[in-house]
Structure 1
Amino acid sequence: MTHSGTALPVTLDRESSVPLAVQLADALRQAASTGHLRGGDRLPSTRALAERLGVSRTVTAAAYEQLHAEGWIAGRHGSGTYVTTSPPVDRPVHRTIPGEEAEPESVLDLTPGTPWAAGVDKAAWRRAWRAAADAAPLVRAHRAGLPEYRAAIAEHLLRHRGLAVGTDSVLATGGTTAAVVELAGSVLSAGDVVAVEEPGYQRAVQALTAGGMRVVGVPVDEEGLRPDAIPAGARVVYCSPAHQYPMGSRMSAARRVELIERARAENMVVVEDDYDGELRFDVAPLPLLAALAPDVVVHLGTTSKILTPTLGAGWMVAPPAVSSALLAYRERTGTRASPAGQRVLIELARHGDLGRHLRKLRRELSERRALLVAALRAGDVPVIGDEAGAHLVVPFDSAAGERECLAAAATRSILLDGLARHFAGEPSAFGVAIGYAGCSREALRESLDALVGLLREYCAGHPVASAR
């Protein structure tokens, strides 16, 4: 049986960005899967089909070559081109990856963790990418990170976090969670006990659990993690002392000393997640644990909260034994932090754009926080958390109140984050964490009446607290 081009259900869209040859190959496959073409059917010649469809022979030849390579058609010498078999009728359809769907633009996202990416200077951003592209392609991997990047981070840590380190002490990472994954693979062993904040950063918890570690929650309060509650025999303590996530407190000086002394006495490693330590509004950024005890502290930082996740760039400063183990792990596994984001950060730092952005960011987020806190206080809604970072917490009395509030907010197209999901074990605190960096300031201001009214309804019973 022979098919002509006009008998086949082939429609080519010349305005589409999909090449005509790809469209034609797809159409012929579809014709076979729906029964218009069957095994043994003869196809028109590439010339004849091109004439009937009004395209060049290059298009039809390319489509036939693709289908021939896939095994759907075959040429017979002196006879023509034939369909060899039909594709399965119920072919799998590629669908959107679960969890990756974008929120509709009408939804106001007030969940924490989103940076003020809209505040990045567009001219500086374009300039940095252009300059990064001028660098010659790498011929070998830099397992520790690009030297210029490590130098830029060392300067950043000195200026904005008060940590004096040499370039050789800095390792590039893909961010804090990526760094935790690498630490689990290089420093820890299956079954090692890791103490984590409860509530705390669940991505780190999941990374450690996936690595075979035994994760044990340690309670936090208004002074941060409680060192006295760390279980005996813990190999590592993971914490966010500058701005505890998600509760927003900072670790007191006394507890910092207590944690360091215990780490030294019991041969523990303290992993300090400084995810937004540059963002304090009341006082200068607090000293790092790594500055107090570089012998037992692994310091982690990231560009995701102060700039954008686009860069996929972070850093680590660790004791020599930890750094060596991590570099050996990268050599064994062939892994490294991507240099593309590092190059952009290098250029942003080289021209002073990084420092200017941080100053603008602190000013913007400080004003947003003040706006939000003032509205909540005026509505008799309690607030907890330091004057820092990009989120605050409204405590509730019960899990039911938290669930009902989140559901009610969703019906008003407001996306909030509950505290219960930040517990690895049984939740013992409830409420909502409100992020104020990802949306525009106008959207935040316009939502205040609805937000305050909603929170006031579900957090009844709490006395008004003062946000530090």
Structure 2
Amino acid sequence: MRDGALRAGERLPSSRALAGLLGVSRTVVTEAYQQLYAEGWLDGRHGSGTYVADVHTGDGSPARPAEPRPAPDADSYPPLHAPDAGLIDLRPGRPWVMAYDTAAWRRAWRAAGDLPMSAWPDLYGDPLLREALADHLRRARAVPAGPGNVLITRGTGNGLDLLAATLLEPGDRVGVEEPGYRAARRVFASRGAEIVPCPVDADGLIVDGLPAGLRMIYTTPAHQFPTGGRLPIPRRERLLAWARATGAIVVEDDYDAEFRYDVAPLPALYGLGPEHVVLLGTLSKSLSPDVGVGWLVAGRPLLDRIARTRKELADRTSGPVQRAVAVLLDRGDLDRHLRRMRLEYARRREAVVAALGPWTKGDTAGLHVLAELPEHVVPEVVAGARERGVLVDTTIRHHHGPPRVHGLVVGYGSAALHDVRQGCGIVRSLLDHALQKP
């Protein structure tokens, strides 16, 4: 499809016919089709069949795969402190840290302690961790990068600040999704950038008609924060075509892409255009914000510039922690943890959807959903929930300008399953009451 051998609008065989042709189980074909639907490669037409989506870049030719080539950390938002005892916290931004295999963590620390300390820490990060992360990202996120493309950070906020300090001059225009991750706006603004809101819809960033003069654009394509959309392949291709034409850098925040509940995690945008994309990731959602380890993936020339900036800022990530995380990856402990947590979060996500289903959006991935509501209902529900011991977030906090999207951002990462059910039941009763008013 990318090379044009299968063209937009062309009908594909039925799953039964293709399974017979290839001599494989129909389940294999069905799951492959589902993955391609999720990534935006295919369109389904009820009663008609399966068709190739328009995956062209907008310049008349199909996109081809590219060849592989000190600010406070903001990962903990929100909340920055634990809620009062007895409250059910359904705000987004925190994982469930009680389920981690503490024995595996202790083993990793013991193994890390056997390695010698370094008098001159590597500016790019621990070589063992960079190699382990490159392998993990290739397997889990289809990222065509080697250890030489990976720089270890303290988290997404730290990575954003290093990138901004390296590339931005005061007054440079930076596009940020609207609504979007407000901590990213704060980091860019702290470096003197002009923040330019870029609207999103149900599928994520609206690529057509991006503002002129952007030096950089920040996006969350796997699970848009906070609306939950996933950027389909046609838009990804057009975004990369725009970056090639303008010379702007696309900053891809992969903050919770490990957790997807309909199909396998979607390939990273970086894999389609590594020369134009910088990929940011963190362990704060998959493991714990306390770990303080993230990564930045980019082409080597840019990575070298960022490393020089890091040296000037005397910025570094804890060496012992890096070595412990490398052991977790090398022994497969982190992968096993992620598999367990997908099942755990899937149960909580089902509880949220069961309670708030008519209003939920973006529920196929991540650790939160959006409940889009009439504007006048939101303050009443938030206040009523707080009186009954339930904390929820709103979309208002995530806009740079006047709110375009109204509703609740309901997180299910940090609350136990029974608390998620109870809290969402309270929110649902408040919604029903508020919506019945004339």
Specify the TM-score bucket, using the shorter chain as the normaliser: 0.7 to 0.9
- The yes-or-no answer on 1:139 pairing with 2:115 is no
State how far apart, in whole Å, the 1-side matches of 2:361 and 2:80 are: 31
- The yes-or-no answer on 1:259 pairing with 2:236 is no
Letter in structure 2 aligned against 1:300:
L
State how far apart, in whole Å, the 1-side matches of 2:256 and 2:292 are: 15
- The yes-or-no answer on 1:335 pairing with 2:315 is yes
**Structure 1 length-normalised TM:** 0.74
Question: Does the Cα contact within 8 Å between 1:263 and 1:296 map onto a contact in 2?
Answer: yes
State how far apart, in whole Å, the 1-side matches of 2:411 and 2:145 are: 32
Secondary structure, counterpart of 1:203 in structure 2: helix
Name the CA shift for 1:223/1:460 in 2 (closer, same or farther; >3 Å): farther
Shift of 1:100: 5.5
Map 1:59-458 onto structure 2 (within 5 A): 101-377=81-357, 381-398=358-375, 400-458=376-434
Shift of 1:158: 1.4
Q: Is 293-302 or 102-111 further displaced after alignment?
A: 102-111
Q: Is 163-172 or 268-277 further displaced after alignment?
A: 163-172
**Unpaired segments of 5 or more residues in structure 1?**
1-98, 462-468
Letter in structure 1 aligned against 2:213:
G
Rg comparison, structure with higher value: 1
Shift of 1:171: 0.6
Secondary structure, counterpart of 1:215 in structure 2: strand
Secondary structure, counterpart of 1:229 in structure 2: coil
Question: Does the Cα contact within 8 Å between 1:395 and 1:459 map onto a contact in 2?
Answer: no
State how far apart, in whole Å, the 2-side matches of 1:459 and 1:195 are: 36
State how far apart, in whole Å, the 2-side matches of 1:156 and 1:101 are: 31
Shift of 1:206: 0.5
State how far apart, in whole Å, the 1-side matches of 2:80 and 2:348 are: 28
Letter in structure 1 aligned against 2:384:
A
Shift of 1:176: 1.0
Q: Is 425-434 or 365-374 further displaced after alignment?
A: 365-374
Question: Does the Cα contact within 8 Å between 2:200 and 2:206 map onto a contact in 1?
Answer: yes
Letter in structure 1 aligned against 2:98:
A
Name the CA shift for 1:416/1:193 in 2 (closer, same or farther; >3 Å): same
1:439-461, Cα deviation, whole Å (9 max, x unpaired): 11122233343232123334569
Q: Is 237-246 or 130-139 further displaced after alignment?
A: 130-139
Relative contact order higher in (CA < 8 Å, ≥ 6 apart): 2
Shift of 1:317: 0.7
1:416-454, Cα deviation, whole Å (9 max, x unpaired): 001000001111111111111101112223334323212
Q: Is 222-231 or 133-142 further displaced after alignment?
A: 133-142
Shift of 1:285: 1.1
Q: Percentage identity across aligned positions? A: 41
Letter in structure 2 aligned against 1:427:
P
Letter in structure 1 aligned against 2:188:
L
Shift of 1:239: 0.2
Question: Does the Cα contact within 8 Å between 1:271 and 1:300 map onto a contact in 2?
Answer: yes
Name the CA shift for 1:374/1:165 in 2 (closer, same or farther; >3 Å): same
Secondary structure, counterpart of 1:138 in structure 2: coil
1:31-73, Cα deviation, whole Å (9 max, x unpaired): xxxxxxxxxxxxxxxxxxxxxxxxxxxxxxxxxxxxxxxxxxx
State how far apart, in whole Å, the 1-side matches of 2:330 and 2:301 are: 31
Alignment correspondent of 1:96: none
Question: Does the Cα contact within 8 Å between 2:385 and 2:426 map onto a contact in 1?
Answer: no
Letter in structure 1 aligned against 2:361:
I
Shift of 1:414: 0.6
Name the CA shift for 1:386/1:410 in 2 (closer, same or farther; >3 Å): closer
Shift of 1:142: 1.2
1:85-138, Cα deviation, whole Å (9 max, x unpaired): xxxxxxxxxxxxxx8553222011110111121121121122222322332222
Name the CA shift for 1:222/1:448 in 2 (closer, same or farther; >3 Å): closer
State how far apart, in whole Å, the 2-side matches of 1:408 and 1:375 are: 17
Question: Does the Cα contact within 8 Å between 1:175 and 1:314 map onto a contact in 2?
Answer: yes
Shift of 1:319: 2.1
Letter in structure 1 aligned against 2:302:
V
Question: Does the Cα contact within 8 Å between 1:396 and 1:458 map onto a contact in 2?
Answer: no
Secondary structure, counterpart of 1:237 in structure 2: strand
1:147-199, Cα deviation, whole Å (9 max, x unpaired): 01101111110121121311111110111111111111111111111001000
Secondary structure, counterpart of 1:127 in structure 2: helix
Question: Does the Cα contact within 8 Å between 2:356 and 2:371 map onto a contact in 1?
Answer: no
Q: Is 223-232 or 409-418 further displaced after alignment?
A: 223-232
1:295-339, Cα deviation, whole Å (9 max, x unpaired): 100001100001101110000111233212101101222212232
Question: Does the Cα contact within 8 Å between 2:222 and 2:254 map onto a contact in 1?
Answer: yes
Question: Does the Cα contact within 8 Å between 2:353 and 2:363 map onto a contact in 1?
Answer: no
Secondary structure, counterpart of 2:364 in structure 1: coil
Question: Does the Cα contact within 8 Å between 1:310 and 1:341 map onto a contact in 2?
Answer: no
Alignment correspondent of 2:18: none
State how far apart, in whole Å, the 2-side matches of 1:418 and 1:459 are: 17
Total equivalences in the alignment: 359
Shift of 1:242: 0.3
**Unpaired segments of 5 or more residues in structure 2?**
1-78
